[in-house]
Amino acid sequence: EAGVAQSPRYKIIEKRQSVAFWCNPISGHATLYWYQQILGQGPKLLIQFQNNGVVDDSQLPKDRFSAERLKGVDSTLKIQPAKLEDSAVYLCASSLVPGGETEAFFGQGTRLTVV
Amino acid sequence: KNQVEQSPQSLIILEGKNCTLQCNYTVSPFSNLRWYKQDTGRGPVSLTIMTFSENTKSNGRYTATLDADTKQSSLHITASQLSDSASYICVVNHNDMRFGAGTRLTVKP
């Protein structure tokens, strides 16, 4: 079974630039999550999709972050404009159903460095 | 305040030794508690899952315990190996996943 695919693996940008991350979840997984993991901390939920609808985006900084999941499969997360404090690993995860009842499988993440 | 607190923040042990990682939570009620292992540069991978009615669950050299009365869980690693070097994250689920900050374990030869 193919896992959660993310790209790129690494990205370095200057502050105020834009960046986009891509995620392809495990086939058949209706729930997709984007997490931000700052060095030394646990993952923090940014947004959760159920199929192509948003379930929870309460911690997404909407003035600069946006995400979409077209057709309920792949998803993109965008930051525009980036700030220094956005430097982190961005993890995408997917699960069959929401709420942690089934295991969430994580991608390898995209390490973003904003300079 | 984080609803899932882990200790210690980091731990260094010698290969072959045992260790125990702690997780205290305030999430209540909850449906299940998972321990994840996160290797450097990788996403977290589930090691164990326990419902609120389970007290212990083993996965090879990993044994997780749960005390729902004191709201504590522990992950015990037996006969540690170099490949156990990773971050171990406690996640409590109730409608959503609440992550601890993790314990960074380093196993030295």
pLDDT-derived band at A86 (thresholds 50, 70, 90) equals: very high
Cβ of residue B39 closer than 8 Å to a chain A Cβ: no
Q: Is residue B75 a contact partner of residue B64, using CB atoms and an 8 Å limit?
A: yes
Record: contact A100-B96, CB cut-off 8 A: yes
Looking at residue A101, its pLDDT comes to 73
Nearest CB partner across the interface for A91, out of B34, B43, B95: B43
Looking at residue A1, its pLDDT comes to 59
Looking at residue A52, its pLDDT comes to 85
In this predicted structure, which of A47-61, A92-106, B3-17, B84-98 has the lowest mean pLDDT? A92-106
Average pLDDT over residues A81-101: 91
**Per-residue exposure over B75-104, b if at least 16 CB sit within 10 Å of its own CB, e if not:** bebeebeeebbbbbbbbbbbeebbbbbbbb
Cβ of residue A25 closer than 8 Å to a chain B Cβ: no
Q: What backbone phi and psi angles, to 5 degrees, belong to B99?
A: -95, 140
Q: Map A31-70 to HEC letters.
A: EEEEEEECCCCCCEEEEEEECCEEEECCCCCCCCEEEECH
Record: contact A104-B97, CB cut-off 8 A: yes
Record: contact B96-A56, CB cut-off 8 A: yes
Q: Is the pLDDT of residue A99 over 80?
A: no
In this predicted structure, which of A16-20, A95-99, B45-49, B58-62 has the lowest mean pLDDT? A95-99
Record: contact A106-B101, CB cut-off 8 A: no
Looking at residue B96, its pLDDT comes to 81
Looking at residue B2, its pLDDT comes to 66
Record: contact B31-A100, CB cut-off 8 A: yes
Q: Is the pLDDT of residue A60 over 90?
A: yes
Average confidence (pLDDT) per 10 residues, chain B, 109 residues: 88 98 91 93 93 92 94 97 97 87 97
- Amino acid sitting at position A90: Y
Name, of A39-48, A64-73, A78-87, the range with top average pLDDT: A78-87
Which residues in chain B are closer than 8 Å to A111, comparing Cβ atoms? 41
Record: contact A100-B89, CB cut-off 8 A: no
Å between B32 CA and nearest CA of chain A: 7
